[in-house]
Amino acid sequence: MKRLLPLASHVKTLTYDNGKEFAFYQHIDEQLQPNGYFAHPYHSWERGLNEYTGGLMRQFFPKRKDLSEVSDEEIQGGGDGQTQQPP
C-alpha cells in the first residue's frame, strides 16, 4: 500500500480479480478511493492491462519471485526497461 499512496491522485479505477491477494480490497478502496470493479472468475480478458503488465514484469521478475524482497530501485529499473519494449 505504501508504494501506491503517492500515486493515489492518478488512480481512477481498479479491476480486481478473485485471488487471495485482494482479500483486503476494502482497505485499498479506502486509501486510494478508486472506482473498484471485480472481474468475473475465469474471464481474464476483463483484466487486459493487468495481464499485459504482469507479462512485462515477469520479464524482469520471475512469477514466483517474492516481490516483498525487491527494492524500490529494482522495481524502478524494471519499469524503465518496460518503456523500451517494442510496440
Q: Which residue has the higher pLDDT, 81 or 1?
A: 1
| HSE, side-chain direction, 13 A CA sphere, residue 71 | 3
pLDDT of res. 84:
53
Lowest mean pLDDT among 18-22, 26-30, 75-79: 75-79
Q: Mean pLDDT over all residues of the chain?
A: 78
Q: Which residue has the higher pLDDT, 83 or 37?
A: 37
**Nearest Cα to 58, choosing from 35, 81, 37?**
81
pLDDT tens-digit series, residues 29-66: 888 888 888 888 887 777 777 777 777 777 888 888 88
pLDDT of res. 70:
83
4: left (phi over 0), alpha (psi -120 to 50) or beta: alpha
Burial of 55 (0-12, 13-18, 19+ CB in 10 A): exposed
